[in-house]
Amino acid sequence: MNSKSKVLALKYRPQTFDQLIGQKVIAESIFNSIKNNRLPNAYIFLGIRGSGKTSTARIVAKALNCENGVEKLCKDNFCDSCKSIIEGNNIDILEIDAASKTGVDDVRELIEFSRYKPTSAKYKIFICDEVHMFSKSAFAALLKTLEEPPSYLKFIFASTDVKKIPVTIISRCQRYDLSRVNSKELFDYLVKIKNLENGKVSDESIKLIVKLSEGSVRDSLSLLDRALLVENSGKELDLQSTQKIFGYFEKSQIIDLIEYIFNGNEKSVLECYKNIYNSGVEPKVFLNEFLETLYYIKNINFINLDGINFDLNDQEFEKIETLSKKISKNDLLMLWQFSLSNLEKIDIIKNQHQFVEMFLIRSLYLKKILKDENKTNISEQKKNLKMNKIVSENKIQNSQETIDQLKNTEQEEKIISSSEVKNKFEDIQIKSFKGLIEICENKKELKIKYELENNLRLVSFQDQKIEISFSSNLDKTFIKELSTKLLEWTSKRWIIAFSKENGYPTLKQQKKDSQAILLKKENKSKFSDEIKKIFPDAELLNVEDKKEK
């Protein structure tokens, strides 16, 4: 422990394996590997912030080089090797931050430095924090040395983001995943530190600190540091004062607010939220806490107050248990989904406080809002079903030239009466393929017009029947869309069938062929011959038919 430091996180930094908090299994595993001299080329420690990655790396460095050996690792009276590692002036222990040294040149310097044997220590060790910040080229430069380092060289990596580290690097390291520290274990540790510092902080306040730290030892010590610095006239710092220090509000307030929502009490809902907001809570934090409380109300039967989970105190637990019996699961899930969708939208709003107020007001009328939305959706579905019923199945005429008609779902629905169709749709006469294209242009159906002109090879066009040659270029939805539109325009059911015949070329191809014929004809004309006498290099590129234009 660094007694000279005033910051608790540094002052009480663990110096031996048995001082590590919440990582007993990992500590024992590393201790045994060093004791039995079964050492990997590199260690990699992964975990959230404050889980002990860098502390473990330094303990490993000390254990490998301690003059007393790993079984008698220095705890208080440090040997010269351990003392120099703690103070950071050991020439053979190089600790770097990958966030500031990310390039390949930095790694090359490391590799160059590694060629020399240690001067005073047993092992030369590189401790690299936040290793995921290295560039791709830096990782590539490190691969060979990492796989076959000299016997005196060891690498120790630490990172909070394993996804950014190449698999080739991880596979060359002995990997340890440091877990979040258990709430009970962290609570006992903070009580011990409080007593060592002669601090006056209540157990309830320390439980709140444990909850806010989310399993991070460093975060919990930083929060405890703030709590110990508060002047309280010699009195013990209570929970209410601690909540004000950290800008935290009691979950019981949200429990009351949710109860007001389900009781439809708008005034109480807004007053309760304003009290929470005035305590300094950010709207987004409020929504997250709101969702967390809904989770507890839904799953309260599966949660036990076993002294490990400090998210709920006894009073809150009882309050939630009572409320959960009054509210149906369906209503809770509906409010959960509504809250979740609003959490995604809150970042795009300038005044988030007003956004949350409107969210709470809408929550009061959520059932009515969803009921109206469902009515709208049902009416739209009925309308679509009615449209689909208009298009029906029709028998195909016996002909050797036709193959099975391509049926769509609309054509297989029940046929409604022709009188109903006439009342709802137009009565346009389409007598030719050209007329069909003109109708598409007038009706602004440009997609169908494009397919007719560019991808459709016509075989025959009769009243209420169109035969086409199969083409893979046709859009998959073309037949469905065209048959629907023909029914709307003509009030008649049309058959669109595929034929075995090749059919006529597409209109686009016909125009190309026509243009080619005109060019060929014009190239042989007297006018072209006279032009070429004057301009021998002249080339005819295009011909326009004025009559057609």
Over residues 116-164, the pLDDT tens digits come to 888 888 899 999 999 998 888 888 888 888 888 888 999 999 999 999 9
Query: pLDDT at residue 212 above 70?
Result: yes
Query: Where does the pLDDT of residue 310 fall: very low under 50, low under 70, confident under 90, or very high at 90 and above?
Result: low
Strand (E) or helix (H) holding 440: helix 433-442
Q: Are residues 145 and 60 in the same domain?
A: yes
| Mean pLDDT (whole number) for 298-317 | 68
Q: What's residue 46's pLDDT?
A: 93
The residue among 135, 159, 177 that closes a domain is 177
Query: pLDDT at residue 513 above 60?
Result: yes
Helix axes 203-213, 217-228, angle to 10 degrees: 140
Q: What's residue 173's pLDDT?
A: 92
The residue among 177, 206, 226 that closes a domain is 177
Query: Where does the pLDDT of residue 29 fall: very low under 50, low under 70, confident under 90, or very high at 90 and above?
Result: very high
Percent of the residues in the chain that have a pLDDT greater than 90, as a whole number: 13
Dist. CA 505–CA 508, nearest whole Å? 8
- Contact partners, residue 493, CB within 8 Å, separation at least 6: 391, 392, 394, 415, 464, 483, 487
Residue 377 domain-assigned?
no
Are 490 and 427 within 8 A, CB to CB? yes
Pair of tokens at residue 216 = 């991070």
Helix axes 352-364, 283-299, angle to 10 degrees: 30
Higher-confidence residue: 91 or 416? Answer: 91
| Mean pLDDT (whole number) for 95-114 | 82
Q: Are residues 75 and 150 in the same domain?
A: yes
Is the model's pTM score more than 0.75?
Answer: no
Q: What is the mean pLDDT of the chain?
A: 80
Write down the residue that tokens 């949710």 correspond to.
Answer: 258
Over residues 215-253, the pLDDT tens digits come to 889 999 999 988 888 866 678 888 878 877 887 777 788
Q: Are residues 217 and 305 in the same domain?
A: no
Q: Are residues 210 and 275 in the same domain?
A: no
| Mean pLDDT (whole number) for 106-117 | 83
Q: Are residues 199 and 324 in the same domain?
A: no
Tally of residues, the chain: 549
Q: Are residues 203 and 105 in the same domain?
A: no
| Mean pLDDT (whole number) for 242-270 | 84
Query: Where does the pLDDT of residue 417 fall: very low under 50, low under 70, confident under 90, or very high at 90 and above?
Result: very low
Residue 430 domain-assigned?
no
Pair of tokens at residue 226 = 């703030």
Tally of domains within the chain: 3
**Share in percent of the chain as helix, strand, coil (round to 5):** 55, 10, 35
Q: Are residues 305 and 260 in the same domain?
A: yes
Residue 97: which CATH number? 3.40.50.300
Pick from 176, 159, 157: nearest CA to 28: 176
Regarding beta strands 457-462 and 465-469, do their DSSP bridges make them parallel or antiparallel, or are they unpaired? Answer: antiparallel
Q: Are residues 188 and 211 in the same domain?
A: yes
Dist. CA 358–CA 270, nearest whole Å? 10
Dist. CA 139–CA 144, nearest whole Å? 10
Least-confidence region, from 9-13, 371-375, 490-494: 371-375
Residue 280: which CATH number? 1.20.272.10
The residue among 177, 199, 229 that closes a domain is 177
Are 92 and 118 within 8 A, CB to CB? yes
Helix (H, G, I), strand (E, B) or coil at 159: strand
Over residues 57-100, the pLDDT tens digits come to 999 999 998 988 888 888 878 888 888 888 888 888 888 888 78
Q: Dump the DSSP string for 240-279.
A: HHHHHHHT---HHHHHHHHHHHHHT-HHHHHHHHHHHHHT
Least-confidence region, from 8-17, 72-81, 415-424: 415-424
Q: Are residues 27 and 168 in the same domain?
A: yes
Residue 28 domain-assigned?
yes
Residue 381 domain-assigned?
no
Are 20 and 181 within 8 A, CB to CB? no
Dist. CA 313–CA 196, nearest whole Å? 27
Domain with 208 in it: 183-246
Dist. CA 200–CA 206, nearest whole Å? 11
- The DSSP secondary-structure symbol of 470 reads -
Dist. CA 338–CA 356, nearest whole Å? 12
Are 268 and 332 within 8 A, CB to CB? no
Handedness of CA 107, 113, 117, 121 (dihedral sign): negative
Pair of tokens at residue 408 = 């769509």
Q: What's residue 398's pLDDT?
A: 39
Q: What's residue 412's pLDDT?
A: 40
Handedness of CA 314, 316, 318, 321 (dihedral sign): negative
Dist. CA 154–CA 145, nearest whole Å? 10
Residue 541 domain-assigned?
no
Dist. CA 496–CA 483, nearest whole Å? 7
Q: Are residues 19 and 95 in the same domain?
A: yes
Residue 427 domain-assigned?
no
Dist. CA 475–CA 276, nearest whole Å? 58
Q: Are residues 94 and 144 in the same domain?
A: yes
Residue 210: which CATH number? 1.10.8.60
Dist. CA 86–CA 109, nearest whole Å? 24
Higher-confidence residue: 252 or 472? Answer: 252
Residue 512 domain-assigned?
no
Residue 279 domain-assigned?
yes
Are 114 and 148 within 8 A, CB to CB? no
Over residues 330-383, the pLDDT tens digits come to 888 888 888 888 888 888 888 888 999 999 998 888 866 655 555 555 555 555
Q: Are residues 281 and 169 in the same domain?
A: no
Least-confidence region, from 12-16, 100-104, 188-192: 100-104
